[in-house]
Structure 1
Amino acid sequence: MTALSPPPPAIAQAFRLALEAARALAGATAPNPPVGCAVLAADGSVLAVEAHQGAGLPHAEAAALAACRDRWDAVHTLVVTLEPCNHHGRTPPCSQAILAGPARAVWIGARDPNPAVEGGGAQRLSAAGLDVAFVVGPLAAESARLIAPFAMRATQGRPWLTIKQAFTADGSMIPPPGERTFTSEASLDLAHALRRRADAVITGSGTILADAPLLTVRRVADPRRAPRRLAILDRRGRTPAAYLAAARERGLDPSLHADIPALLADLAEGGALEALVEAGPTLSAAFLAANLWDERVVITKAARAGDPDTVEIVPRAKAA
């Protein structure tokens, strides 16, 4: 980077703002990944922070630059959570938008993992004379996790799978008689946040028959515009038609599947980046046994009333 570049603390803070903006849209951008971008002046002051809002809408870099039109001469550095695209899709390449502006430097959080994309945005920007650098350490790790569902679909052909399980203090996933849940308010908020960031919820016909769950996002704001998929594993066709109709009225897009591979292939083909498994013990165990999971969220009810639940988030890479 040039001597006139923003100081490192300003770059780090800008990345945190860009990551926060992108995370707020996770679950609303499929089949595109969530991406955040901040624009800085040479002294490190933040001129704009924007995130990609969804497929067909401006990418984060273009949106952030557009927000700086009244301060065009002050634009110096862009920080972006994902390598700027260098191909024509529904929108023009972000590398083109950057080169059309006054930016002199670009900091990038994660490389584009899509093997179908020819040529890298970073290479094009560097060849055009811009200073280009990739962050390292925690910011790089956070950027990689942000696009992990996109990378999974691009490289493995399936959505990122998060398995959420809630247990009573004695290890049961079954709520007490007459109750639908047993975890704390904070744990319920977490469950709805996990559901919000997913493009699809996976459950089984047994759960449908036992609880008729709503499986909608209610406790947190949901920016998603398209219906969220509800994929039901139902080998015997037991899911009531009335439940499917009610799910559609709630804004869901339900579908029935005879086996897990077909279910995952259908979700991937439909553009889903992340699916949340919210199911009973049998189906959850089937995903775990098949090693079809990427992150496991385990909520355990405290044994003593009033104590907080225990929440453990386990990435598969660390569990292996």
Structure 2
Amino acid sequence: MNIKDHLADYRVHLTLERNLSVHTVRNYLSDLKPFTEFLSNESINSIDEINRIVIRAYVSWLMSGRKTKPTTKSSKVGHERTSINRLMVALRSFFRYLTKEGRIAPNSLWKKGSRQSRTLIPKTERKLPRTLDQVEVSALLQSVKIRKPSATDLNSAIQYRDLAILELLYATGLRISELCSLKIEDLKNKHRTLRVIGKGAKQRDVIMGEPGRQALEVYLKESRPLLASVSKIKALFLNKFGYQLSKRSIQSMVRKYGLSTNNSRVHPHMLRHSFATHLLDGGADLRVVQELLGHSSPTTTQIYTHVSLSQSRKIYEKAHPRAST
């Protein structure tokens, strides 16, 4: 079998056996494209030819030989170290699959828990996620100008929808993919909860505050009926044509309102970061925040404790009389 055959089988494995979403499968396979490009450049056709020397050469090529975004003006040579880490994670997963299926001999380089493959990956500084403070969040939410829609006023209907989305992103910490996939039946507005399907098809309930509940209630009563050109569509959030709102549309919408508050770098995931950080600032338990975010490991959630500490330090240095002496 050649590399393409192994990758085709790997796609089936990710989709059917691991039950990953279409988006996740696409990302896994996309992160393997540089590796197949490298193998083609080196005329390596068999999986059996790949060893530690080849992998080391691959990492070196990623760092200083491969052109990124070759068709754009921002093209450059070499990936960022964070990108290389992500590509190597995808490669490890692929080779562990090949080992498990008996297609290659066991190799400590790919063994789970082994540090051998990690020594090939350049170390990176872990950047703290960017967040909005509470004043900035309030300004973002207030930037949506609401007026009661008439039977034909789609612009006002869209503004009601936008406010509900912004309130929900901040109130629940949802990923943008989770928000897009919400259906009417997932909403339990009376109890201020949502049923969400997260990464790995894991189901969880998330809680929203009263402002989020009210914004959703108004959207469902005043806005969604105007947008729903297809009466049987189940998606919670709809575009102006009456179909499910896309991730790209939500990203553009959040960016638009961010620009209106002179904060040009706002994106949906920043509201997720802000949700987690503000909970921890308010004294929430780390395990509770982990559950609300849908993280499988508390290690992933711990990054927000560093953000919270960073915010605490700023407040301390501003407020304490002897902080700067």
| Superposition TM-score tier, normalisation by shorter sequence | under 0.3
Query: Which structure's residues are more often strand, by fraction?
Result: 1
Report which of the two has the higher share of helix. Answer: 2
Q: TM (normalized to structure 2)?
A: 0.27
TM-score normalized by the length of structure 1: 0.28
